[in-house]
Structure 1
């Protein structure tokens, strides 16, 4: 056998061996909002990065997807989203585009805490309910979420969003709901009268802002890990280890927030819209009311007057606005009162996406509330 032939056979053998030991392809994952993206990114840390469908800073209640975001759904092996209660428009898009994906609606996961929407402009007298006491015990087929433990700790994590734009287009994109065919910008919400639903988004029944309970996030980490393990058994241990580490990181964030809020003492506050019920419930605080019914509607004059009366009657110290919305409403409501204005954000618009997003989100909300209370 010639030397060159021997070298050729050796190279071929090495190539075959390398191919046989090549790592399995990591599943493509699409997520709806930044908090869910953060949880998925924590589970996938070191292996891959999920795609984010709703641009940070945009309202998830009504959104026009970019073509690249529609492709992310079409190419996904798994889709994790809060559910139609938060994003009614996304249900149709997932059905049209993510036809081959495992789809997990997180509000339907067994064992999480769910809370009802609070009614009216002011919240005094509302009971805080947690876990099974909340009256929402979600049942689901165990096969849909393999290995999920109901007793998961109250922890959770957030993820990094590097959005890869593929070269191939979507066969369904032209016909799918809410795909923006020209340009790459997400459109803003249009204000509507608060007595009407906005784009099908009802403010009755289950409050969908469930990601602001760290206990829910901890459960979701395990669900994401098990779904990805089923798709990618070779990396199953990594997914599970990452989920466990994410729960520990969230637990540390929860402890920090508890200490921060305890040091700040009690404070009466009003929020821009009622997005923080889960956070309040978890940390034993309570908003006095909300300026707007939702982030997609303008409050009526009667609602503004009712909130102003509550601020004066209860001696409310802080009014929390959100960075992506007009501050003029906050100024109007605070006029003639002693309340101070501060900013909190349930979606973490200004936070860096990635595996550490979720603990940072929980800490940022706690610090904002405490900061206004102590100023």
Structure 2
């Protein structure tokens, strides 16, 4: 019995002498695509939380109490920025005041585009800017759907890795290796998607919500118009008439609707012009959350454009 107690005591001392492995920081993200990018970088160290549930619109959401607790405990918050979720700024200031806030749309290396206006989106309406990092937050007219450009996502993977490495040096090598692997895989996926979309030929389409110009710009797609301006506001009668005329005038292949918004108007317009309606989801609401969501989202968006051409 004495030997057993001595052995147990020696084992406890030995275990106590071993360095305790540091826990990964508590990380919160805003939307599923950002959560996926952060989860890729954190694999093997920890798992981030996400605020916006599947199917909810980022442009307006009531924060649940459980998510408020997550924000209170967060050490790092990665979010697109106020331009996408203006309702989130106040909770971040009040609940996550001690957390490090990383506004990805303002991160170095991010290509920014301005919202386009009018039923017909002409060449040159979008102003591109590669952001080198500066003071300030919300830019009037900034299109926040920047995650749909895979080159932005590749830049963000590096930002995410360096932010986590600074907060958690013990896992720094892991974060950087994960980010580099994800960047390499994403570059290859982008090349494959570009080849598939180019082979399909021009796609003439309109969208319900002008959320895709980052994807369009990256892959050379031409959007003929949006049913709803900016953050998915409801169009008036004059705009609906204008859109109907555009559909009839141009050889539009299809209209894209989104699961986050009422698709009735898109379907009504498509019936008037004998067009097909394809559902496209910029948030990946139907996809399983986690590291694989972001590449699956890009694949899903590309498939929607190919389906518009019947490919």
Common fold by TM > 0.5: yes
What displacement does 1:344 show? 0.6
> Offset at 1:138?
3.7
Q: Tell me by how many angstroms 1:70 deviates.
A: 0.8
Aligned to 1:79: 77
Over residues 267-292 of structure 1, what are the superposed CA-to-partner deviations in whole Å (9 max), with x where a residue is unaligned? 20000110001000000112100011
Offset at 1:136?
A: 5.3
Please point out which of 38, 63, 66 is paired with 2:64: 66
- Superposed counterparts of 1:1-375, under 5 Å: 3-4=3-4, 6-17=6-17, 20-127=18-125, 134-135=128-129, 137-140=131-134, 204-294=140-230, 296-374=232-310
How big is the shift at 1:305? 1.3
Give, in whole Å, the separation in 1 of the partners of 2:147 and 2:66: 25
Please state whether the residue corresponding to 1:270 is helix, strand or coil. strand
Task: Name stretches of at least 5 consecutive residues in structure 2 with no aligned partner.
Answer: none
Secondary structure of 2:115's counterpart equals coil
Contact 1:264 1:374 survives alignment (8 Å): no
Kindly tell me the number of residue pairs found equivalent between the two proteins: 308
Any conservation in 2 of the 1:29–1:50 contact (CA below 8 Å)?
A: yes
The CA distance in 1 between the partners of 2:125 and 2:61, in whole Å, is 33
Q: CA deviation at 1:27?
A: 0.6
Which residue does the alignment assign to 1:155?
A: none
Q: Do the aligned partners of 1:269 and 1:319 also contact (CA within 8 Å) in 2?
A: yes
Q: How well do the aligned residues superpose, as a CA RMSD in angstroms?
A: 1.9
TM-score, normalised to structure 2's length?
0.93
The TM-score, its normalising length taken from structure 1, stands at 0.78
Question: Any stretches of 5+ residues in structure 1 without a counterpart?
Answer: 142-201
8 Å CA contact 2:115–2:230 kept in 1: the answer is no
Q: Give the deviation of 1:203 after TM superposition.
A: 10
* C-alpha distance in 2 between matches for 1:31 and 1:226: 16
Distance in 2, matches of 1:272 and 1:204, equals 21
1:177 aligned partner: none
Question: Of Structure 1 and Structure 2, which has the larger fraction of its residues in helix?
Answer: 2
Write 1 or 2 for the structure with the bigger share of strand: 2
SS at match of 1:247: helix
CA distance in 2, matches of 1:225, 1:204: 29
Which protein has greater RCO, CA pairs closer than 8 Å, 6+ apart?
Answer: 1
